[in-house]
Structure 1
Amino acid sequence: MVVASKSKPSSSSELGSLFAAFDKDADGRISAAELRLCMRATLGEDVSAEDAEALVASVDADGDGLLDGDEFARLVHAEVEEEERHRGLRLAFGMYEMEGEGCITPTSLKRMLSRLGAHQEIDDCRAMICRFDLDGDGVLSFDEFKIMMSA
């Protein structure tokens, strides 16, 4: 879920404007309810109350259940970094996928590893995939690939 607009705020004034837009009651703090409302209205993201509270809690340094300007900035920057990481993983996944099927197969893994100079037998590629193939279909989906890359 992305709190910031589709691009990273480039200045503290842009971040301040974004904070002001989320701070509906202009009290200098953003509640989970305000965060949720603004994410729905401005970004089209429907966030549950629990997820909004978890987002606030993830950066709420003083434990008051509200975001001040610094805490909000940390949340925005964390979300932007996560989005950039996700985009990088998508690119890497696309390199290994190569067959247009939306998954990494033993054959596509073998082909990519070979391009990288690591020659593996197809059975070795199957075994590599099996370690992270959570649904047992013999291939890696993007979600399984993300898990593999974070291991």
Structure 2
Amino acid sequence: MVKGREYERVFVYFDENGDGKVSPSEIKNRMGMIVGGGDVLLNEVEVAIESLDKDGDGFLDLEDLVGLIEGASAEEKLKDLREAFGLYDFDNRGFISPNDLKRMLAKLGESKSIDECRMMIDRFDLNGDGVLSFEEFRIMMQ
């Protein structure tokens, strides 16, 4: 699993003493090196670790680090989906109508009838209201 090895490499980089846990001082040291000797405050690092530390021991383990990285990735994906949804939701109403879909497809150079757009929406319209909510759009995009 390539992703797992990449996480392990990042973890090993921060785990200066090789004890399998990353302390606030290790993060402070490594972050200082990353930001070109900039001053990273230890109390800021401690607060960050406290919010990520699942077992409450004051250190980050590999699982905590993976959660941090994947959590950020999930947030980015959600942000990207919201932006994409906004491209279709022309009137900022919180849903994509068949007309919205037709308009966006036309912008993309694809001509569809309103009936074709309704059929496309119906495939993912979970509550049957004739439009796509963000949640339905998110499910469709997975």
Whether these two folds match at TM > 0.5 is yes
Paired residue for 2:54, among 14, 30, 44? Answer: 30
In the other structure, the counterpart of 1:147 is: 139
| Residues 1-150 of structure 1: pairs in structure 2 closer than 5 A | 12=14, 13=27, 17=46, 18-19=48-49, 21-22=50-51, 30-31=54-55, 34=56, 69-150=61-142
Amino acid aligned to 1:118: E
Compute the displacement of 1:30 (Å): 3.0
Output the CA distance in 1 between the equivalents of 2:105 and 2:120: 12
Output the CA distance in 1 between the equivalents of 2:51 and 2:127: 40
Compute the displacement of 1:101 (Å): 1.2
Report the number of matched residues.
100
SS in 2 for 1:90: helix
In structure 1, the gaps of 5 or more residues are: 1-10, 24-28, 35-66
Amino acid aligned to 1:30: K
Amino acid aligned to 1:133: D
SS in 2 for 1:112: helix
Question: What is the root-mean-square deviation of aligned Cα atoms in Å?
Answer: 2.4
Larger radius of gyration: 2
Q: TM-score, normalised by structure 2?
A: 0.63
In structure 2, the gaps of 5 or more residues are: 1-12, 15-26, 32-44
Residues 99 and 22 of structure 1, relative CA distance in 2, 3 Å threshold = closer
Q: TM-score, normalised by structure 1?
A: 0.60
Amino acid aligned to 1:123: D
